[in-house]
Each structure stands twice: as C-alpha cells, then as structure tokens.
Amino acid sequence: MRLPAEKVGELELVPAIGGSSSVLSAGLADALKQLAARPQVLVALDFDGVLAPIVRDPDAARPLPASAAAVRRLAVAPGVRLALVSGRILADLRRLADPPATAMLVGSHGAQCAGVGEENGAGQPAEAALADDVIPGMDDQAEALLARVISALEQISERHPGTFVERKPAGVVLHTRQAPRNAARRATEEALSGPSSWAGVHLTRGKEVVDLSVVDANKGVALATMRNQVGLRPRGGGVLYVGDDVTDERAFAVLDDDRGDITVKVGDGPTIARHRLDGPDAVGALLNRLADLRGC
C-alpha cells in the first residue's frame, strides 16, 4: 500500500441522492467498478466522520440521509456483507446508526463485536452470544486496572473544564472537542504522560480523544476476522473500508489496494489509504454508486 499522490488525476461527477453531485477520482471510480464485479464483497464503514458528520455533541451524531439509504441498499444486496466499525460502544452504535439487522458490528475499536465470527443457519451474521458489556479477556486484574485509569482520567477532566470522560466496558475515553484549546491541549498531555503510559494500558489516539483500553484490540484485527468470515483471502481483494480517523489506519493496513481492496480516507490528514473523499457528503455518493453497480 502506498501514500496517496497529491494529485488524483481526472475527476468523475457522480450523481447523488437528491439530485446533487459529488466528485470521485477516476482511480476510485474505476476501483469501485472492479470491486462491484466480484462475487463476494465486504463493505466496512466507520460511523463518526464517515456515515455521520463530526459534531460537538457525540450524542447528536446521525447518518446523513444519502449514506443511510445506501447502507440499506447494500445490506440486502446479494454477495455483499456490511459492517460498521467504530470506537463507540455497541449500544451507542446501534442507537445512533440504526444499522440493518444483518450488519456485523464492531465497537470500542474492536473490543466489542456482534455478528462477527458467528453465522446462523441461513448464512447471515448472527448476534454475538455475549452481551454488549461483556468483553473477552476482562479478568479481575484488568477490571482493577480499568478502575485506576478511569479515576485518573476523571481527575484530569475535573482540572480542565470543557473536557469529559466516557466509560466503556473495557476502556475509557477523554473527550476534548468541547474544551477551550489550551485546556484541551493540557488535558491531552496529562493523559498521554500519565495513565496512557501505564503497563497494560493500550492507547488509541483519535480526533479530540484519548482512548485508553485494558484489552489489546484494534480495528485491523476486527477487519481481518470479518474478511475471513466472509470467505475472502487475506490481502486477496474484495473489501471496501472507509474511515476518517487515525484509528482507521490499522484497518487500512490489513488491506491491499493492488489486489482489489479499496481503502478510502475521509477528510484531510496523513494516511496510508490510497483514495480520499472530502467529507461525509461524498460517502453517500460513493456507497450509492456501489449499490448501483451491484444492481440493488
């Protein structure tokens, strides 16, 4: 995989729902056509910043209408498996994204999974046997460490107004988006030099978040598991992954654009993804174009 070139070459206008248009690079449009011709396809999507715009209040995030419509189309397309891959806990992902019942779900950056690694009799993803708040590998030692990390981040947040802490089944997140810039910077520095450096704590940096977990999980491992479940060979093509954050780079890293996978970065910033879209508005056009090509 290579870093995307500064110039993407010719552009193709792609009609979007509602009569508007979006722009896909010629390379992305061509890759999409090749992906659509495969008998089996896995479409894996981040939620925040991809299906839904980034908003100041995380609880206010909702998928854009064009993307929501495309997700529904792809969920029933023959030969297409759909997955949502997020840093949010599964309960929030279900509530905010309202995913199709057949979608595989990955929450907490891979620490929580539903429909992953299991199939029902009809060959469709089944609900995970464990409840959303039950995480494999969470023993007494991990629980004790998590309690320490939560306490440390809450103390940091108390010192820096505008920040807040989100608890997860296997981790805790410091959010800084709503804080004044100086407070956000100082809180982040304290979290990075403090609990994130402790033994047994796994750090995931994101946009305006410091995400700490006491289990070793990431989106790349989850994506590799899902592609194997679908029956696609490792680095053998057939996966579209769309993400916007540094947490998605691990998912990009397990794919291979040269063999028929498609990696798409939404927004600016460095990335190993081959293709790029300006923002969530373009994601709906991308996904609806894939649905068109699949004839669904």
**Residue boundaries of the structural domains of the chain:** 11-119+218-293, 140-213
Confidence of residue 120 (pLDDT cuts 50, 70, 90): very low
21 strand-pairing partners: 15
Q: How far apart are CA 105 and CA 91, in angstroms?
A: 10
- In this predicted structure, the answer to whether residue 18 has a pLDDT above a threshold of 80 is no
Backbone angles phi, psi at 267, to 5 degrees: 95, -175
Rounded CA separation 211/201 (Å): 10
pTM more than 0.95: no
Give pLDDT tens digits for 225-253: 999 999 998 777 899 999 999 889 999 99
Cα–chain center distance at 90: 12
SS3 call for 10: coil
Architecture of domain 11-119+218-293: 3-Layer(aba) Sandwich (3.40)
Provide the pLDDT for residue 2.
40
pLDDT at residue 107 above 70? Answer: yes
What average pLDDT is seen over the chain?
A: 86
Q: Residue 164 phi/psi, 5° resolution? A: -150, 165
Beta strands 262-266 and 239-243, pairing class: parallel
Both tokens of 37, joined, read: 């011709």
Q: Parallel, antiparallel, or unpaired for β 41-45 and 11-15?
A: unpaired
Percent of the chain having pLDDT more than 70? 85
Using a 10 angstrom Cβ sphere, with 0-12 exposed, 13-18 middle and 19 or more buried, the burial of residue 22 is buried
d(CA 75, CA 213): 31
Residue position matching structure tokens 């039950």: 134
Q: Which one of 3.30.870, 3.30.70, 1.10.3210, 3.40.50 gives the CATH number of domain 140-213?
A: 3.30.70
Burial code of 39-69, b = ≥16 C-beta within 10 A, e = fewer?
eebbbbbbbbbbbbebeeebeebbbbebbbb
| CA–CA gap between residue 163 and residue 208 (Å, rounded) | 10
- The amino acid that residue 180 corresponds to is P
